[in-house]
C-alpha cells in the first residue's frame, strides 16, 4: 500500500476515532478521546516536519486564516472568554490544525492511499457492526426497538457511524467511477456493501447528503468524460447510475414486509417528505434549536456569543416548545436523557457563536475548497488523479449538505478533519504529479 511514516500517523487518527470512551477533564466540561491524543501527536509531527524544513505549507492554506481570526475574535468578545476558550481550541483543532497536518504529512500522492484505505476499512468494520446490531436488536433505540445501527459509537453519537460509512462510500464510489476492470467492480461492490449500514443508520441527513455527493460526483465524471468521447461517458454514467441505485436500493428491502428493519426504513424515508407539514418530535426540536440559534445571533450579530456560547445561553433564547432533552437508549449504555446543547446545524452554530464574521469565514473556506477542487479535477489526466478529485468533490458535497442537519461533535469529528485535510491536499495541489510510480 506504501505511504510515508507521516501517512501512518494520519491513519492512526482514523483508527482511534472508532475506539469508544475517553477521559473527562476540567470537571467533566471536556472529554479527551484516544483520537484527540492521536491528533495531538499528528500535529506535533507535522510541526517538527515544518521546523526541519522538510515541508512547506501551500500558500492557499492562508484560506484558513480568516477562520482562525474570526473564532479568536469571537472568543475575545464572548461574555466569558475563559469558558469560550475550550470551544476555540476544539474548533481550531478540527478545522485548522488537523487538516493542515494532513497536508504537511502527505508529500506524495501515494501517501493518500493508506489514509483512504483506512477510512474505507474503518467504514466497513463499523458498518458490519451496525448491521449486526440492526439484525440482532442490539443497536440504538428507535420507536421503542433497538434497531438503529450505530457501530461502536453508541446511542450517544448516532450520527457517527453514518458519517464514517458515508466517507468510505464516497471514496469507493470515486474509484468505481474512474477505475477499470476488477478495480471498478471491487469499488462498486464496496459501495453496495456500505450502502446497507448507511440505510440501517436511519440518518435522514446522511441519506440526503450522500445523494448530493453522488450527484456531484456523477456530474464531475460526466464533465471529464465529455473530453474523451461518448464511450467513456456512457460507461461512467452507467457506473454512477449503479452507485445511485446502490444508495437507494439498500433500503429497497422496505418492499418486503417480512423484514421489520424494512418497515422502519420505509417509515424513516416517508418522514423526510412530511418533515415540513407534519414534523415529528425530533424534527420539531431541531426547528426550535434553529430558532434558538437565530435568536442568539440577533442579540450579538457581529461576533456571536463565543465558542460554546450556544450551550451556555440556550435557555435564555429557546422557544417554549423545545424539549428538555433527547432520549437515547442502547443495550450497552442503557437509557439516558441527553441535553440539546447544539442547534444541529453547523452554519447556525457558527452564526450564533461567531456571528456574521465567523459564518463568512466558514463559507469562504468551503467555497474556496469547492472551486479549487473542481479546477484541479478538470485538469486531472490520470485515473488516480480523477479518483482523488471526485472523492474531494464528493466529500465537500456531502459535508456541505450534512452541515445543514448536523454539526461537529464526538471522535468522528476528527475523521471529518482528516477528510477535510485530504480535500485541502487535493484542492491546493500539495502533491504534484511526479511520474507513473507516484
Query: Taking the chain (438 residues) in consecutive chunks of 10 residues, what is each chunk's mean pLDDT?
Result: 76 94 71 92 93 80 93 96 94 96 89 95 97 91 84 88 97 93 94 95 90 91 66 48 47 41 66 61 84 94 94 87 72 72 92 97 95 89 89 95 89 95 89 43
Put simply, whether the predicted model's pTM sits higher than 0.85 gets the answer yes
Q: Which domain holds residue 204?
A: 10-17+31-275+340-427
Q: Which three cell numbers stand for residue 336?
A: 439516558
355 part of a folded domain: yes
d(CA 370, CA 392): 8
421 part of a folded domain: yes
End-to-end C-alpha distance for the chain, whole angstroms: 12
Q: What is the pLDDT of residue 380?
A: 85
240 part of a folded domain: yes
CA 394 centroid distance within chain: 11
Q: Does residue 304 sit in helix, strand or coil?
A: coil
Q: What is the pLDDT of residue 434?
A: 41
Q: Which three cell numbers stand for residue 40?
A: 495531538
DSSP string, 61-123: GGGGHHHHHHHHHHHHTSSSHHHHHHHHHHHHIIIIIHHHHHHHH--SGGGHHHHHHHHHHHH
Q: Could you tell me how many residues make up the chain? A: 438
Strand partners, 328: 336
Q: What is the pLDDT of residue 252?
A: 41
Q: Going by C-beta distance under 8 Å and a sequence separation of 6 or more, which residues neighbour residue 10? A: 42, 101, 102, 105, 106, 115, 118, 418, 421
Q: Going by C-beta distance under 8 Å and a sequence separation of 6 or more, which residues neighbour residue 2? A: 110, 111, 113, 114
CB 242 within 8 A of CB 188: yes
Residue 25: φ, ψ to 5°: -130, 165
- Total tally of structural domains belonging to the chain: 1
CA 33 centroid distance within chain: 18
Q: Which three cell numbers stand for residue 361?
A: 469565514
175 part of a folded domain: yes
Task: Name the one residue in this structure whose C-alpha cell is 485541502.
Answer: 424
DSSP string, 188-249: HHHHHHHHHHHHHTT-HHHHHHHHHHHHHHHHHHHHHHGGG-HHHHHHHHHHHHHHHHHHHH
d(CA 83, CA 30): 11
Q: Going by C-beta distance under 8 Å and a sequence separation of 6 or more, which residues neighbour residue 115? A: 3, 7, 10, 11, 14, 102, 106, 418, 422
Among residues 400, 369, 363, 416, the alpha carbon closest in space to that of 60 is found at 369
Longest Cα–Cα distance of the chain, Å, equals 63
315 part of a folded domain: no
140 part of a folded domain: yes
d(CA 345, CA 19): 25
What does R_g of the chain's alpha carbons equal in angstroms?
21
Q: What is the pLDDT of residue 233?
A: 47
246 part of a folded domain: yes
- Across 162-183, b (16+ Cβ under 10 Å) vs e yields bbbbbbbbbbbbbbbbbbeeee
291 part of a folded domain: no
CA 115 centroid distance within chain: 15
Amino acid at each position: 500500500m506504501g505511504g510515508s511514516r507521516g501517512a501512518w500517523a494520519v491513519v492512526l487518527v482514523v483508527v482511534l476515532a472508532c475506539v469508544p470512551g475517553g477521559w473527562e477533564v476540567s470537571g467533566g466540561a471536556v472529554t479527551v478521546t484516544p483520537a484527540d491524543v492521536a491528533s495531538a501527536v499528528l500535529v506535533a509531527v507535522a510541526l517538527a516536519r515544518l521546523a526541519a524544513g522538510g515541508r512547506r505549507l501551500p500558500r492557499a492554506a492562508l484560506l484558513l486564516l480568516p477562520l482562525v481570526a474570526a473564532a479568536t475574535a469571537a472568543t475575545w468578545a464572548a461574555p466569558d472568554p475563559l469558558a469560550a476558550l475550550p470551544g476555540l481550541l476544539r474548533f481550531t483543532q478540527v478545522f485548522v490544525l488537523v487538516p493542515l497536518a494532513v497536508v504537511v504529512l502527505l508529500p506524495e500522492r501515494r501517501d493518500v492511499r493508506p489514509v483512504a484505505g483506512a477510512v474505507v476499512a474503518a467504514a466497513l468494520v463499523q458498518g458490519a457492526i451496525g448491521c449486526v446490531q440492526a439484525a440482532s436488536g442490539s443497536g440504538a433505540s428507535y420507536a421503542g426497538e433497538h434497531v438503529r445501527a450505530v457501530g461502536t459509537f453508541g446511542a450517544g453519537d448516532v450520527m457517527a457511524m453514518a458519517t464514517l460509512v458515508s466517507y468510505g462510500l464516497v471514496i469507493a464510489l470515486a474509484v468505481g467511477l474512474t477505475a477499470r476492470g476488477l478495480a471498478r467492480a471491487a469499488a462498486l461492490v464496496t459501495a453496495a456493501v456500505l450502502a446497507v449500514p448507511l440505510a440501517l443508520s436511519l440518518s435522514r441527513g446522511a441519506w440526503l447528503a450522500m445523494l448530493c455527493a453522488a450527484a456531484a460526483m456523477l456530474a464531475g465524471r460526466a464533465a471529464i468524460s465529455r473530453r474523451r468521447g461518448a464511450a467513456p461517458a456512457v460507461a461512467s454514467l452507467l457506473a454512477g447510475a449503479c452507485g445511485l441505485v446502490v444508495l437507494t436500493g439498500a433500503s429497497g428491502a422496505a418492499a418486503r414486509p417480512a423484514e421489520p428493519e424494512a418497515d422502519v426504513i420505509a417509515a424513516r424515508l416517508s418522514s423526510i417528505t412530511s418533515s415540513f407539514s407534519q414534523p415529528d418530535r425530533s424534527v420539531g426540536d431541531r426547528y426550535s434549536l434553529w430558532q434558538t440559534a437565530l435568536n442568539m445571533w440577533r442579540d450579538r450579530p457581529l461576533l456571536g456569543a463565543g465558542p460554546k456560547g450556544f450551550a451556555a445561553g440556550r435557555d435564555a433564547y429557546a422557544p417554549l416548545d423545545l424539549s428538555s432533552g433527547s432520549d437515547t437508549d442502547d443495550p450497552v449504555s442503557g437509557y439516558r436523557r441527553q441535553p440539546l446543547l447544539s442547534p444541529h446545524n453547523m452554519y447556525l452554530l457558527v452564526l450564533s457563536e461567531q456571528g456574521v464574521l465567523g459564518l463568512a469565514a466558514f463559507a469562504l473556506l468551503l467555497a474556496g475548497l469547492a472551486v479549487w477542487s473542481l479546477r484541479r479535477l478538470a485538469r486531472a489526466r490520470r485515473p488516480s488523479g480523477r479518483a482523488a478529485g471526485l472523492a474531494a468533490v464528493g466529500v465537500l458535497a456531502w459535508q456541505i449538505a450534512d452541515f445543514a442537519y448536523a454539526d461537529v461533535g464526538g471522535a468522528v469529528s476528527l475523521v471529518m478533519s482528516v477528510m477535510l485535510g485530504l480535500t485541502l491536499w487535493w484542492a491546493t495541489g500539495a502533491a504534484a504529479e511526479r511520474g507513473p510510480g507516484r
